[in-house]
Amino acid sequence: MKIPKRIEPLIEDGLVDAVIRQLMSGKEAMVFVVRCGQEIRCAKVYKEANKRSFRQAIDYTEGRKTKNSRQARAMAKGTRYGRHVQEQSWQSAEVDALHRLAAAGVRVPKPYHFHEGVLLMELVTDEHGNAAPRLNELDFTEEQARTHHYALMIQVVRMLCAGVVHGDLSEFNVLLGSEGPVIIDLPQAVDAASNAHASSMLERDVCNLTNYFGRFAPELLTTEYGKEIWALYEHGALHREVELTGCFKHSMKPVDLGSVVREIDDARAEDAARRLRMQG
Q: Which residues are catalytic?
A: 168, 185
Amino acid identity of residue 241, one-letter, is E
Closest CA to 16 of 32, 4, 34: 34
Query: Measured between alpha carbons, how far is 162 from 246 in angstroms, rounded to an integer?
Result: 21
Contacts of 113 (CB under 8 A, 6+ apart): 10, 15, 119, 120
Residue 84, CB-side half-sphere exposure with 13 Å CA sphere: 5
Q: How many CB atoms lie within 10 A of CB 157?
A: 22
Query: Measured between alpha carbons, how far is 137 from 240 in angstroms, rounded to an integer?
Result: 29
174: left (phi over 0), alpha (psi -120 to 50) or beta: beta
Q: How many CB atoms lie within 10 A of CB 77?
A: 12
Using DSSP bridges, classify how beta strands 29-36 and 39-46 pair: parallel, antiparallel or unpaired. antiparallel
CB 44 within 8 A of CB 121: yes
21: left (phi over 0), alpha (psi -120 to 50) or beta: beta
